[in-house]
Chain A
Amino acid sequence: MPSINRSKTKTPMPSQDAKLRSKNFNEVALGYTEEDAINEAQRCLNCKKPSCMEGCPVQVQIPRFIKHIAEKNFESAISVIKETNSLPAVCGRVCPQEEQCEQKCVLAKRGDPVGIGRLERFAADWERQQGVKIPDKANPIGKKVAVIGSGPAGLTCAGDLAKLGYDVTVFEAFHEPGGVLIYGIPEFRLPKEIVKQEVDFLKKLGVKVQTDMVMGKVLTVDDIFEKGYEAVFIGTGAGLPKFMKIPGENYLGVYSANEFLTRINLMKAYKFPETDTPVKVGKKVAVVGGGNVAMDSARSALRMGAEEVYIVYRRSESEMPARKEEFEHAKEEGIIFKFLTNPTRIIGDEKGWVKGLECIQMELGEPDASGRRRPVPIKGSEFTLDMDTVVIAIGTGPNPLLIEATEGLKLNKYGYIETDEDGRTSKEGVWAGGDIVTGSATVILAMGAGKKAAQSIHEYLQGK
């Protein structure tokens, strides 16, 4: 029997020193050692009715895998996790655990919850170091399925179907697969090598990945059916950047977070001129927004050499949707937070470059539809922050490119694809899931949707 650790606090995770890391793109959180992991695993009470699992959208068998870690049986631990979660190295790093599994852990009532995410990451990293075993290929069923988009939703759906023996092809618009995991979430939070290895794993399962395929332009969904595919899963994400529609948004030095992060992550602007794509980061940078995307943009700006980086958010700290860990990390690195502040105008110089951000002070009023108190402007409280770069990270919408080229897809009033519980759309043989259905959500929810759809596609094709 493993011994029990009664500590009320999580075993700390070693991380790069804040001063040092704010100048490089290496991973911030360094991960548990074997001792750390066993120590943390020994905090888990192995509850008979594990409430933690209720918080996990894909029902990872949390106490079972943690028990294996406590017993130093890492191989069993990872195989338990992989029964329900095909991207544990990713989820262990980026899941908002404090709102999911860890929030529901009984220990959270009287101290820190078990560090479930950290343990999940540990198990996945351990497996990668050993060299991931490739499962035997399933017997081919002889049916082709197409997956559009290679974010977590598409990759999960593709993997599950390949394991069942389907001939799966993933069509991705970019030159590299991975979706937001590649172009959005920065290297220092999720090393791209991990995403690459996950994709390689799928390829070894037999999944074909075709990059450079902007679906809707090069091929339509109907073309895919004509090519002999019998089902299609759409996982194209919510990639349409929103702007604030305030004056001055087209000044030079104003970026959408999508552009800013794509230049840095996908195009590797942090290695410019070794790589060919630049990004312009001034001395003083303002990032507008309060989610993960805003944190990632701000922390990236710092690493690109900005001297002062502000996060300008119209609500207060407690309403911020970003993961807690990212917020803490951002503060440690010296990001300056301007809460209850809303931009009203971007100010430029004669050459068209940004030179300032005019803002107005806000106060919290009555709760709005989201249940959060609505920020209302305080009259006459305008002030200007001097800035030379502004990054707008106030959310995204559905990209209409594929949708417009696909006949018979029912959309909801915001333009996202409407599906039933299993991800089935109004178009025969077409499923959808992830951000293109829910709007910007999380990696694990997108994966869950991909998984459900794969199951439903399997049932459908078996009946055919």
Chain B
Amino acid sequence: MFQIIDKKDLAPSIKQFVVDAPLVAQKARPGQFIILRIKEGGERIPLTIADYDTQKGTITIVFQEVGKTTKELGTLKAGDYLADFVGPLGKAVEFSNHKKVLGIGGGLGVAPLYPKLKMLHENGAEVISIIGAKTADMLIMEEEIKAVSDKTYVCTDDGSKGRHGFVTVVLKELLEQGEKFDEIIIIGPPILMKIGTEIAKPYNIPIMVSLNPIMIDGTGMCGGCRVTVGGETKFVCVDGPAFDGSKVDFDELMKRLQTYTSEEKLALDKYHSERGACKCHQ
């Protein structure tokens, strides 16, 4: 059992937990993720390690309530326990002597972007960041990102904060102005990573994306998380989650994420109706 030490609401339906998991914290590196299960019978869901503290033995996760499991997760409080918390999984990212990087985080993608930028910043690289969300109140981790960036652009889809528009608009501008980077990191919904990659590709700058297919074990034994990268099948949980964006088949990834749409809805409806019937929440 793994205890939730601290809980914070970052935005409507986006929550942050600090979880006591000393063994995982000891090995965690930027780019890695964990898989958790709330309870017996629950689903195994992957979440990025948004931060870690080796001394305190804690892992920070940030999640958005999108379906049954993440909504149920959101009802837990500090002091509650998770049945399972497995990690650190996936390959850690490595940067070779980067002098200047551009980090782009869309929506929830800001969370997984943070540990990478933090590492780059600590290594002395110049960090430019573009973060965005649908609306001002959906924007997360702005302060944290700013603390590790030399310059930060903020965007919202509705213009309620910062630039009006998508993060990719700023990306386009910077590239057109002739800004040079050793690497561009884009993390967010697959469609954002796809469009961002398309914009950046002609500039011949390495593009790193972090993929989020449906997973089960996270150890390379089921193949459910497979994606096509450079024409080859890769297992995101062990070969990734970071890949060279210019080689990823995003359309396939987006399709595969739809596999369980009807089941996800069924599970969520059942969850809502049961909670509705439960007196303690009335």
Contact = CB atoms under 8 A, between A and B. Distances in A.
Contact of B43 (A255, A271, A277): A277
Interface stretch (B120-128, B134-142, B163-171, B255-263): B255-263
B217 A250 contact: no
Contact of B69 (A243, A250, A253, A276): A276
Contacts of A2: none
Interface residues of A, number: 40
B217 A173 contact: yes
A241 interface: yes
Contacts of A214: 86-87, 89, 218-219
B170 to A, nearest CB: 32
A399 B219 contact: yes
Given A243-B233, A258-B223, A262-B222, A277 B44 contact: yes
A218 B87 contact: yes
Most chain B CB neighbours (cut-off 10 Å) among A240, A273, A277 = A277
Interface in A210-266: 211-214, 217-219, 239-241, 243, 249-250, 252-253, 255-256, 258-259, 262-263
B41 A274 contact: yes
B256 A262 contact: no
Contacts of A218: 23-24, 27, 86-88
Contacts of A451: none
Interface in B223-272: 223-224, 226-228, 233, 238, 252, 255-256, 258-260, 263-264, 266-267, 270
Say which size band chain B's interface belongs to. 35 or more
B221 A351 contact: no
B219 A401 contact: yes
B233 to A, nearest CB: 7
Nearest to A274: B41
A259 B216 contact: yes
Which of A175, A219, A239, A272 has the largest count of B CB atoms less than 10 A from its CB?
A175
A263 B214 CA distance: 12
Given A259-B222, A273-B266, A280-B259, A250 B233 contact: yes
Contact of A278 (B27, B37, B267): B267
B87 to A, nearest CB: 7
Interface in A296-341: none
Contacts of B69: 276
A364 B264 CA distance: 46
Given A212-B85, A278-B260, A217 B27 contact: yes
A250 B256 contact: yes
Contacts of B270: 273
A179 B83 CA distance: 19
A267 interface: yes
Given A218-B24, A250-B256, A267-B44, A256 B219 contact: no
Contacts of A400: 220
Contacts of A241: 221-223
Nearest to B85: A212
A174 interface: yes
Contact of B222 (A175, A258, A273, A351): A258
A274 B83 CA distance: 17
B161 to A, nearest CB: 35
Interface centre among A213, A241, A250 (most CB of B within 10 A): A250
A272 B224 CA distance: 18
Given A212-B85, A218-B88, A256-B222, A262 B267 contact: no
A275 interface: yes
B68 interface: yes
B238 A262 contact: no
Interface string B15-31: 00000000110010000
Contact of A275 (B41, B221, B223, B226): B41
B221 A239 contact: yes
Contacts of A259: 216, 222-224
Contacts of B233: 243, 249-250
Contacts of A276: 41-43, 68-69, 267
Contacts of B37: 175
B53 interface: no
Contacts of A263: 216
Contacts of A250: 226-228, 233, 252, 256
Contacts of B68: 276
A121 B68 CA distance: 41
B157 interface: no
A215 B280 CA distance: 41
Contacts of B258: 252, 351-352
B238 A401 contact: yes
A173 B44 contact: no
A245 to B, nearest CB: 8
Contacts of A274: 41
A191 to B, nearest CB: 17
Given A241-B221, A262-B221, 7 more contacts: A175-B37, A214-B89, A262-B222, A272-B263, A276-B267, A351-B255, A401-B220
Interface of A: 173-175, 211-214, 217-219, 239-241, 243, 249-250, 252-253, 255-256, 258-259, 262-263, 267-268, 271-278, 280, 351-352, 399-401
11 contacts: A174-B217, A175-B44, A217-B27, A217-B88, A218-B27, A241-B222, A243-B233, A250-B226, A252-B256, A273-B267, A352-B252
